[in-house]
Amino acid sequence: RSFGFSQVAEGEKQARVDDVFHTVARRYDVMNDLMSFGLHRVWKDAMIAALAPPKRPGWRMLDVAGGTGDIAFRAVEASRGNAHVTVLDINGSMLDVGRERADARGLSDHVDFVEANAEELPFGDAAFDAYSIAFGIRNVPDIPKALREARRVLKPGGRFLCLEFSEVDMPVFDRVYEAWSFNAIPRIGQTVAGDGEPYRYLVESIAKFPRQADFATMIGEAGFKRVTWRNYSGGVAALHSGWKL
């Protein structure tokens, strides 16, 4: 199914994505709650539980497509203030909201914000103990390139975690979910954010993203080892894991 986005030339996709998140940055967090019935919080908590950031100083994490800081703040809190997290996002508006939230939570010393592209990370090799990306990779035009960059910046023994919408594998529920996403989500976007189009694009990008096993293969092709995944909420979201060994 297409809402026109698939006709957009490869090179223009990033510009479309950027427009979407500039438009929604201020309402991004409330929209997340509305569109997922608050479930994105449960999935993000589960991602951090799987990561289990160590409660010792010196551990560094890179959260790519980190937006308004949801994953970074959780990681710092789970490490009892020991972890240092770099939030990287291509979109300055999302990072502005993230910086304000970090200040409000008193976490500014533990988190820094970098405006850059997941395809070209502005860090040296082997700089981080963990790399996370939540609901971000499907927006990146060249996913294999982003995965290779992820591996490059990880230390040997480093962990890769990717949380993303995925393929629902439950009969009946898959139909309900499809109806919800293609009909209700753009309407909620229209009502709350004043524009349904960005949400139409988001739903379409979910439908086009590779299913769990295919994405696991891509992660392996980037050089990660021991690649696994687990489904959340019947596959509405999936957490993929890999190691740089």
Q: Which residues bind ligand SAM (CB under 6 A)?
A: 14, 17, 21, 64-67, 70-71, 89-91, 94, 117-119, 134-136, 139-140
CB of 121 to ligand SAM, least distance (A): 9
Smallest separation (angstroms) from ligand SAM to the CB of 25: 8
| Between 64 and 216, CB nearer to ligand SAM | 64
- Taking CB atoms, the residue at the shortest distance from ligand SAM is 67
Output the smallest distance, CB 101 to ligand SAM, in A: 11
DSSP states of the chain: --SSGGGS-HHHHHHHHHHHHHHHGGGHHHHHHHHHTTHHHHHHHHHHHHH---SSTT-EEEEET-TTSHHHHHHHHHTTT--EEEEEES-HHHHHHHHHHHHHTT-TTTEEEEE-BTTB-SS-TT-EEEEEEES-GGG-S-HHHHHHHHHHHEEEEEEEEEEEE----STTHHHHHHHIIIIIHHHHIIIIIS-SHHHHHHHHHHHHSPPHHHHHHHHHHTT-EEEEEEEEGGGTEEEEEEE--
Q: Which is nearer to ligand SAM, 90 or 161 (CB)?
A: 90
Return the number of the residue (76 or 140) whose C-beta is nearest ligand SAM: 140
C-beta of 49: minimal distance to ligand SAM in Å? 16
- Tell me: is residue 68 an annotated ligand-binding position: yes
Q: Which is nearer to ligand SAM, 79 or 132 (CB)?
A: 132
Ligand-binding annotation for 117, yes or no, is yes
Nearer to ligand SAM, 93 or 212 (CB): 93
Residue 119: how many other CB atoms lie within 10 Å: 17
Is 89 annotated for ligand binding? yes
Smallest gap, in angstroms, from Cβ of residue 205 to ligand SAM?
9
Specify binding-site residues: 68, 89, 117-118
Q: Which residue ranges make up the annotated binding site for S-adenosyl-L-methionine?
A: 68, 89, 117-118
